[in-house]
Amino acid sequence: MRVTSQDIAPAASSSFGIPSRARLSVLLGSSTALSLPVIAAFFVVGYVLSVSYLRLVMTDSWLTAGIEALLTLIIPCGFLLIVRAVANRRGWAQPRVGLVLVSLSVATLLRSPIGIIAVTEWEFVRSDEANPIGRTVISLFITLGITLTLGASVRLARERGEARAVLLAEQARLRELVEATDESLTQAESELRGRASDLLEPTISEIRVLLQGGLSDAEARDVSARITEVVNEVVRPTSRELAASPTFVLRALDPQQPAVFKWLSDRLDVTRAIRPGLIMVLGWLIITPGIVIVGPDWRVLGASFLASLSIVLVLLGVKAIWPRRFRRMPAALGLGILAFIYVMSIWATQSIVQQVGNSAAGQAAWSTMSWRGLALWGVLAFLVSVLAMLDEHGRQNRASLAELNVELEEVLARLRREAWLLHRTVALAVHGPVQSALVSTAMRLSASDRTEDSINDARRRLDEALTAIEHDHHEVPSINDALADLTGLWTPVVQIKADVWPSAESRLAGNTGLRRCVIEICREAASNAIRHGRATALDISLIGMGETIVIRVSDDGDGVPSESIAGLGEAMLDDTCLRWSRLNRPDGGAELTAYVV
């Protein structure tokens, strides 16, 4: 499977670090939003809220309140389990935010002070101190905040495990390809040259035997005819067969198990996990229930907004001035720092709101918060910290996966190029020295003035042809010499300007195989532009970008053909390039851009 950076790119986020709408839909509406850990958290939060409420409105013991609280959770938890089972059975491929919100809200209402009526007396619940409507709204906000955050954390943890598994699989595949590139190509070259020798050596040996001793004119003509037959029926088909591009079959990789997040050893950039936008959301989740219960006080609302905005700006400043060398730390330490930052931010927001409320209205009831409520928001802040750390870990995994994918593509391209070059070298040895030796021998035999020396020279050329197959003695010119030869070849009819950047020249000077491929691509591109595009001027540029050579060949010809034409070298470009394109130029003509590694 080929994974691209687009496939693994994280969803866009706003400048405050709040996920995009599509990303929020996935985090809040996937099947993990009603997973067993979330339902368990709903049970724990609901139990704490129910016990606290029952102790408020009744004078029963802790044991009695605890038993009654358990009774209030039977129907809500059973309802969530049924919804989860039905939704999973029908398939939960797409996010269902509405289903999650409605299910959790209904379950919360069944457990809330309104639902507590089933286990206690109405007189207790409807009292002014009990305030069932207001406390139901508060419990709804608290429960939704904690359960949705936990569901998003579970979703991120699952994504992180899957991304880590893909990362490990990519690493295994990359190691396999590197081993194939380093070890198997040498063996493949030996086997390919051996196969070429096995195909041609019997025929050449037969011709050498025919060349032994003196030959009459009739015998010479027969040998010449036999050589021509060998060239047409053996040498040329063998050359085409050897030039065919190889195919690669990689062995199947063993499935990878999701990796365990190592809190003590995995190092993360903690500043990237500070999300000021989430802090603002948490702060307003604290304030909103009081607004719903009592009604707004505009001075307190203004102070709340300014407090939230100030804390956001402070956190942005903390991210900016945090020493770079202390940013990466073990995940557990980073989680502790994040939880402290988030809890202190919530506490500071609430303290400011409470002080302003007291001075503005004597006592703004909705702006106060008990230690129990602050503890609940502390739990929510801790969950948000886990969520932020997991999201940062997933971002690092995706970034590493994207880098590995680029490296994997480069190794694959290098493997294709080396294999293509190997086949082409052996095929050219057959097509060039072998065919030339045979054809020249046939012509010598057909000549009326043949001599013994010419026959001996033919035998020598045949021996050299076999040696050319078994060993590569082809000398590759420098890139500047090759482009100079190409320019000189077409000078009478076409003006060619070549520009080689120093970075490309140094990279090609130390890599013979890469240099040969670049030369072949330039020759093929120039030939196609002249023969098919009727170009009269060409510009060839070679640019070095790290390990990659960028080849640009632009011309003033007819442009890219509207229909596919055989012979434009597209198969060669596919085999030798990391990627390539051939496009029309705005001012006429075409431009080929090829990336070779």
Is 574 a residue whose pLDDT tops 50? yes
Q: How far apart are CA 376 and CA 139, in angstroms?
A: 11
Is 435 a residue whose pLDDT tops 70? no
Average pLDDT on 315-325 reads: 84
Is 40 a residue whose pLDDT tops 90? no
- Number of neighbours of residue 401 by Cβ within 10 angstroms: 23
Q: How far apart are CA 123 and CA 165, in angstroms?
A: 57
Average pLDDT on 252-263 reads: 50
358 by DSSP, 3-state: which? helix
Q: Residue 127's pLDDT is what?
A: 52
Taking only the tens place, the pLDDT of each residue in 374-384 is: 566 666 666 66
Q: How far apart are CA 66 and CA 176, in angstroms?
A: 60
Amino acid at 505: E
- Exposed/middle/buried for 138, CB within 10 Å: 0-12, 13-18, 19+? buried
Q: Residue 223 — pLDDT band, cuts 50, 70, 90? A: confident
Q: Which residue has the higher pLDDT, 73 or 436?
A: 73
Q: How far apart are CA 368 and CA 505, in angstroms?
A: 72
- Exposed/middle/buried for 539, CB within 10 Å: 0-12, 13-18, 19+? middle
Domain boundaries in the chain?
193-249+422-470, 479-596
66-75, 343-352, 550-559: which has the highest mean pLDDT?
Answer: 550-559
- Number of neighbours of residue 526 by Cβ within 10 angstroms: 24
What residues have CB less than 8 Å from 98, skipping those under 6 apart? 29
pTM above 0.85, yes or no: no
Q: Are the C-beta atoms of residues 542 and 518 closer than 8 Å to each other?
A: yes
Helix axes 36-57, 132-179, angle to 10 degrees: 160
Q: How far apart are CA 262 and CA 264, in angstroms?
A: 6
Q: Residue 6's pLDDT is what?
A: 35
Tell me the Ramachandran region of residue 560: left when phi exceeds 0, alpha when psi lies from -120 to 50, beta otherwise: beta
Q: Which residue has the higher pLDDT, 103 or 241?
A: 103
Percent of the chain with pLDDT over 70: 58
Q: Residue 253's pLDDT is what?
A: 44
Average pLDDT on 527-539 reads: 86
Instruction: Name the token pair of 89.
Output: 């059975």
Amino acid at 241: E
Is 553 a residue whose pLDDT tops 90? yes
What letter would DSSP give residue 280?
Answer: H
Q: Which of 12-26, 278-292, 500-514, 545-559 has the lowest mean pLDDT?
A: 12-26
Instruction: Name the token pair of 430.
Output: 């057959």
Is 38 a residue whose pLDDT tops 80? yes
- Number of neighbours of residue 458 by Cβ within 10 angstroms: 23
Q: Residue 539 — pLDDT band, cuts 50, 70, 90? A: very high
Percent of the chain with pLDDT over 90: 6
Average pLDDT on 557-567 reads: 74
Cα–Cα distances in angstroms (integers) from residue 362 to residues 128, 303, 304, 306, 371, in the given order: 20, 15, 17, 20, 21
Q: Residue 554's pLDDT is what?
A: 93
Q: Which residue has the higher pLDDT, 99 or 392?
A: 99
Q: How far apart are CA 372 and CA 310, in angstroms?
A: 25
Q: Residue 552's pLDDT is what?
A: 94
Q: Residue 11 — pLDDT band, cuts 50, 70, 90? A: very low
Amino acid at 71: L
Q: Is the dihedral of CA 563, 569, 573, 575 positive or negative?
A: positive
Q: Residue 551's pLDDT is what?
A: 94
Q: Residue length, the chain?
A: 597
The mean predicted confidence, pLDDT, of the chain is 73
Q: Mind spelling out the 3-state secondary structure of 406-429?
A: HHHHHHHHHHHHHHHHHHHHHHHH
Q: Residue 363's pLDDT is what?
A: 47
Q: Residue 470's pLDDT is what?
A: 61
What residues have CB less than 8 Å from 364, skipping those under 6 apart? 294, 297, 300, 354, 356, 357, 358
11 by DSSP, 3-state: which? coil
Residue with tokens 């959770």: 73
| Cα within 13 Å of Cα(294), Cβ side | 17
Cα–Cα distances in angstroms (integers) from residue 173 to residues 181, 309, 355, 408, in the given order: 12, 48, 61, 8
Q: Residue 33 — pLDDT band, cuts 50, 70, 90? A: confident
Fold for the domain defined by 479-596: Heat Shock Protein 90 (3.30.565)
Average pLDDT on 131-148 reads: 74
Instruction: Name the token pair of 550.
Output: 């960028």
451 by DSSP, 3-state: which? coil
Instruction: Name the token pair of 547.
Output: 């390990």
Residue with tokens 């050329």: 461
Q: Residue 243 — pLDDT band, cuts 50, 70, 90? A: low
Average pLDDT on 490-518 reads: 87
Q: Which of 31-35, 201-205, 291-295 has the lowest mean pLDDT?
A: 291-295
Q: Mind spelling out the 3-state secondary structure of 327-351?
A: CEEEHHHHHHHHHHHHHHHHHHHHH
Query: Which residues sit opposite 591 in a β-bridge?
Result: 554, 583
Q: Are the C-beta atoms of residues 11 and 19 closer than 8 Å to each other?
A: yes
Query: Which residues sit opposite 551 in a β-bridge?
Result: 542, 594
DSSP alpha helices (H): ranges in 132-184?
A: 132-179
Is 13 a residue whose pLDDT tops 50? no
Average pLDDT on 560-580 reads: 77
Q: Residue 54's pLDDT is what?
A: 72
What residues have CB less than 8 Å from 453, skipping those under 6 apart? none
Q: Residue 567's pLDDT is what?
A: 56
579 by DSSP, 3-state: which? strand
Q: Residue 374's pLDDT is what?
A: 59
Q: Which of 154-163, 199-208, 466-475 has the lowest mean pLDDT?
A: 466-475
Q: Which of 127-131, 205-209, 428-432 has the lowest mean pLDDT?
A: 127-131
Cα–Cα distances in angstroms (integers) from residue 121 to residues 57, 129, 518, in the given order: 10, 15, 88
- Exposed/middle/buried for 405, CB within 10 Å: 0-12, 13-18, 19+? buried
Q: Residue 16's pLDDT is what?
A: 42
- Maximal CA-CA distance, the chain: 130
Q: Which residue has the higher pLDDT, 194 or 89?
A: 89
